[in-house]
């Protein structure tokens, strides 16, 4: 459920990524890619997607279920989750779709989700950290974290740690952390909670998506010997609730948003790790994401915040 930055700052974002990466070209390219998408049957493979009762997460879950995979759906609202499970099962005739309810804005909620998944599953082949929020008004969680940071950054960091054993047990395991082309090229490590740089939600969101990419790069290095492929992506400019709330930009229909599904399933990514994909193309990362020292400093901050050490 990603969106793009305000038109006045969009060119700055694009300049650190790809010169040709305009909304218009992105939409047409994505539609072209989607028109040729074919399901590869994936019976026996287990996929977990956070934030999958709506938007891109739900669409990805539906595609995976069509392909015969076992799909672990996550959401916050039980009734919405049950409705989505029923819809997917009815549409795909795949009964290997399971629901997990938890609030990822709290550390306890993240731990609960991991515990519930471990009780249910013996392995995970692909973990897709898709859940994300954009909030115009700054707020803090019960843990004292800025909410965007809590859901978009702390949650994938802690959840991945807690589910590492299941990924190790997976077959050709993959880990995907959803980023965005909405990133910042300037990180104040003393203000990761956006006390001063919130900017009606845009500053906090851009920061969170930059750290998500940095996190994926660090995890790629750390997990390489274990054979876990770690990549990040911008899922596309898609007509989601988040896009509508955060930006006045057109997007492709949700049912055409196949970038996450392709990165999670295509065999050509079996041995690809440490990459950032935009429109299914490995893309140059920004200078701030290349800063290894800064990445490691942020990593240490995340370990302190979540109470875990990789």
What is the per-residue pLDDT for 251?
73
Report the catalytic residues: 205
pLDDT range class, residue 253, cuts 50, 70, 90: confident
State the pTM of this model. Answer: 0.86
Is the model's pLDDT at 191 over the cut of 80? yes
pLDDT computed for residue 254 by the predictor? 82
What is the pLDDT averaged over residues 88-96? Answer: 97
Dist. CA 26–CA 252, nearest whole Å: 9
Asked if residue 305 has pLDDT above 50, the reply is yes
Question: Average pLDDT in the 238-262 region?
Answer: 77
1 pLDDT above the threshold of 50 = no
Of all residues in the chain, the percent with pLDDT exceeding 90 is 78
Helix (H) or strand (E) holding 224: none
pLDDT value of residue 236: 79
Which helix (H) or strand (E) is 114 found in, with range?
A: helix 107-120
pLDDT above 70 for 16 = no
- Which SS3 state, helix, strand or coil, does residue 126 take? strand
Does residue 121 contact residue 46 with C-beta atoms inside 8 Å? Answer: yes
List, in sequence order, every beta strand (DSSP E) within the chain. Answer: 46-49, 70-75, 97-101, 126-129, 174-178, 229-234, 275-278, 281-282
Mean pLDDT, residues 102-110: 98
Please provide residue 296's backbone torsions phi and psi, each rounded to the nearest 5 degrees.
-70, -35
Query: At residue 11, does pLDDT exceed 90?
Result: no
> Beta partners for 73?
49, 99
């Amino acid at each position: 459920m990603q969106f793009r930055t305000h038109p006045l700052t969009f060119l700055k974002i694009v300049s650190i990524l790809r010169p040709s990466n305009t909304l218009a070209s992105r939409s047409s390219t994505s539609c072209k890619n989607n028109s040729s998408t074919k399901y590869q049957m994936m019976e026996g493979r287990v996929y977990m997607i956070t934030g999958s009762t709506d938007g891109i997460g739900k669409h990805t879950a539906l595609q995976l279920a069509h392909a015969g995979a076992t799909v672990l759906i996550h959401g916050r609202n039980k009734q919405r989750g049950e409705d989505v499970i029923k819809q997917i099962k009815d549409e795909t005739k795949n009964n290997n779709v399971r629901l997990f309810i938890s609030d990822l804005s709290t550390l306890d909620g993240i731990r609960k989700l991991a515990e519930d998944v471990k009780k249910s599953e013996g392995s995970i082949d692909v973990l897709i950290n898709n859940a994300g929020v954009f909030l115009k008004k700054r707020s803090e969680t019960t843990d004292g974290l800025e909410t965007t940071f809590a859901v978009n950054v702390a949650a994938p960091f802690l959840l991945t740690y807690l589910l590492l054993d299941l990924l190790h047990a997976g077959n050709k395991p993959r880990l995907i952390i959803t980023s965005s082309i909405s990133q910042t090229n300037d990180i104040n490590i003393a203000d990761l909670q956006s006390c001063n740089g919130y900017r009606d939600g845009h500053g906090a969101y851009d920061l969170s998506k930059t750290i998500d990419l940095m996190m994926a790069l660090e995890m790629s290095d750390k997990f390489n010997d274990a054979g876990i492929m770690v990549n990040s992506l911008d899922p596309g400019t898609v007509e989601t609730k988040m896009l509508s709330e955060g930006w006045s930009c057109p997007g492709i229909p949700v049912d055409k948003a196949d970038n996450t599904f392709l990165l999670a399933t295509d065999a050509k990514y079996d041995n690809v790790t440490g990459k950032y994909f935009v429109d299914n193309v490995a893309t140059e990362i920004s200078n701030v994401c290349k800063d290894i020292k800064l990445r490691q400093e942020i990593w240490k901050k995340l370990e302190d915040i979540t109470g875990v050490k990789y």
